Amino acid sequence: MTLRLGSRSSEAQVRYFPSFKTTEEQIMRLLIHLIPFVSLFPALFSSLFAPSQTTCSPHHINDNDDNSSLCQLHQFQLKIDHLESVLAESIQNLTEKIDRIEEREKRIDDMAQKIHHLQSVLSTLKGDSLATDERLKALEEEVRLLWTASRKYNFDLHVLESKAQDTEDRLQTVASQAQKMADVVTEQWIQIQRLEQALHITQFINNLSDDPLLKTLGPNFRSYFSRALHQFKRVFAEFKRSHHELQHFIKEKLEKNEFTAALANEELVFFMVYLIATVTMLA
């Protein structure tokens, strides 16, 4: 039975553990099962050849050979009983060991089946894992590209916001300059209106100077007329100076701004001064 169990275990192990050698495994299994029997021989020999603990008296042996034979037979019987007891105990121990070995062999078979199943599952998982790893790498690469594009878009957006802020600041500066120019134009227009009034007065005085009636009024009126004409010439010169200053101011403001620098020519400046004066008169 032990050899049969050993053979069955060897077949199971060879089936589930191909790395084991069949012949060496069978020899090892046989030696394991023979160990209990080998352990019995010292006990048997020690019992057979040990000196008897129950001896007959020398007086009885010498007196009667029959009694001596009976005594020896009794001693042998005691030894046999002792050996039978030892043998029964050894057989019981051997039986228990065989049962444990069979149970372990059964466990080994079960474990071998589980290992085979786990190896199959592991192979399947490895195949799935490779596909998953490839998909994961592809997704990681896609995420990396998206992050790169996102950082680029954020940088471009920051640059555009900076440019928009700069443009807004420049527009505010231009608006402020335009307001200042409007104030200057208003002031210049007031002077122009005064000059126009002075011009009308001068024309009126010139017309009066040619009138024969004025000639009869005398030199006092002529002196007054000369002073008025001199005042008009001074006002007209001031008007021309203010007009040139306004042109210079507008041209300077246009040249300072990068958006209007290309338009800062004499024709446009003169036209703007004329247009500002006209709009102010109409207002």
pLDDT at position 240, please? 66
pLDDT at position 228, please? 63
**How much of the chain, in percent, has pLDDT values that exceed 90?**
11
Cα 51 from Cα 185, distance rounded (Å): 149
List phi, psi (to 5°) of 218: 110, 175
- Domain borders along the chain are 2-133, 174-282
Please compute the mean of the pLDDT values over residues 37-43 and round it to a whole number.
51
* Triad 135, 139, 140: Cα angle to 5°: 115
Sign of CA dihedral 140, 144, 145, 149: positive
Q: 20 and 13 in contact (C-beta within 8 Å)?
A: yes
How many Å is the maximal CA-CA distance in the chain? 215
The yes-or-no verdict on residue 165 having pLDDT over 80 is: yes
Please compute the mean of the pLDDT values over residues 19-46 and round it to a whole number.
52
pLDDT at position 173, please? 78
* pLDDT averaged over every residue in the chain: 70
Please compute the mean of the pLDDT values over residues 210-232 and round it to a whole number.
59
Q: 246 and 184 in contact (C-beta within 8 Å)?
A: yes
The yes-or-no verdict on residue 130 having pLDDT over 60 is: yes
**How much of the chain, in percent, has pLDDT values that exceed 70?**
45
Please compute the mean of the pLDDT values over residues 60-79 and round it to a whole number.
76
The yes-or-no verdict on residue 182 having pLDDT over 60 is: yes
DSSP 52: P
The yes-or-no verdict on residue 216 having pLDDT over 50 is: yes
The closest alpha carbon to 29, from 11, 56, 49, belongs to 11
**Between 213 and 267, the higher pLDDT residue:** 267
Cα 117 from Cα 22, distance rounded (Å): 23
Residues across the chain? 283
Please compute the mean of the pLDDT values over residues 77-96 and round it to a whole number.
91
